[in-house]
Structure 1
């Protein structure tokens, strides 16, 4: 399928639907499990995907949904099961709400830039692995309204590049 990568055993390891004119709320629910699990675009360029379907892609390593027209908020808790996810890019959409850069325990690269996120969730010590693996995080060009001291306190110690420009910090 277009934009879907699988390993030799048939497990989905990558979803690359960058700049694909996907329209819809993240997540949008559908009754078709096959479409929901794989995130395949359906007629009229509307994207139907369930948060629980995505969370069941246990071998997923990369998820690139950047530069589309996805709206709504992201429910992160189901995504914490993505133990192998190392690359997460949702930049250039119309997402909003609270941003959580600890979306998966092996995450190394996270790009949330150019959306409408209003705040960042604290990096929690119980998620020690993602606290140690995250190297790059871009939250620039959002609507984040937080105290700079609070932001500095939530940046993981091992991060190499953290970009937060063009926010209300």
Structure 2
């Protein structure tokens, strides 16, 4: 997450809350509420995300919350077994869901199930070789298993991807600064 995006989060969440409460359309309120929940989970604001989920439940919109999003919330709350059960359901329904595989790999790491984590995260890396987080988490799992040369390999890939990402952001920042100067 970029610092800029995190700095904008309070204003964005407040705007979404206002839009949700002012919308005369119940369906629109529910959809905005689900989007807000996603933002709070992404920001790792566990308390606000749980409060938002409970609000969605009171307006009958909890059924619209994707199971994957709820699994993220359960993980943030430290409810790893509940998250794993929900992710198993997600993967039964959508076995190719890379996001679910990634989160399940992280949950296995949380639970100290390093062999399962390595297996799951290796699938993610195979599906998304440019996924820097997957390489990093896989390196952690492999390191815990004592497979240090494999761990070092994935950590090196992670570092290369992070540096490439930072270079893109720096170039983008330079372009944004140039546009600001022209205005």
TM-score, length-scaled by structure 2: 0.32
Higher relative contact order (CA 8 A, sep 6+): 1
Larger helix percent: 2
TM-score, length-scaled by structure 1: 0.34
Larger strand percent: 1
From the CA coordinates, give the structure whose radius of gyration is larger: 2
